[in-house]
């Protein structure tokens, strides 16, 4: 959420080259997070869904932390 608000602010106040790179990274990380969520939602359709794998959980946590860090970097 902070990253999207920071991106909106950057669009209204002007975009510097460094901010543009950070915003591009935010978009890429967000798309990766959506892909992970979509895969998990599809797995939950089964009558007995499998447990979340440690690799998928680590990827979701990494995406969440990356979005937080990139959102904070955009606000500077």
Number of compact structural domains in the chain: 1
Average pLDDT, the chain: 84
| Confidence band for 1, pLDDT divided at 50, 70 and 90 | low
Query: DSSP assignment, residue 45?
Result: T
User: CA angle, 63 as apex, 61 and 69 as ends, to 5°?
Assistant: 105
Per the CB < 8 A criterion, the answer to whether 23 and 7 are in contact is: yes
Query: DSSP assignment, residue 44?
Result: T
Model pLDDT for residues 41-53, shown as the tens digit of each residue: 999 998 898 999 9
Residue-number span of the structural domain to which 32 is assigned: 2-75
């Amino acid at each position: 959420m902070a990253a999207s608000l920071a991106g909106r602010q950057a669009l209204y106040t002007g975009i510097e080259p460094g901010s543009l790179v950070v915003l591009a990274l935010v978009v890429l990380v967000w798309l990766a997070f959506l892909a992970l969520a979509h895969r998990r939602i599809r797995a939950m359709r089964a009558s007995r869904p499998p447990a979340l794998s440690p690799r998928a959980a680590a990827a979701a946590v990494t995406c969440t932390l990356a979005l937080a860090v990139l959102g904070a970097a955009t606000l500077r």
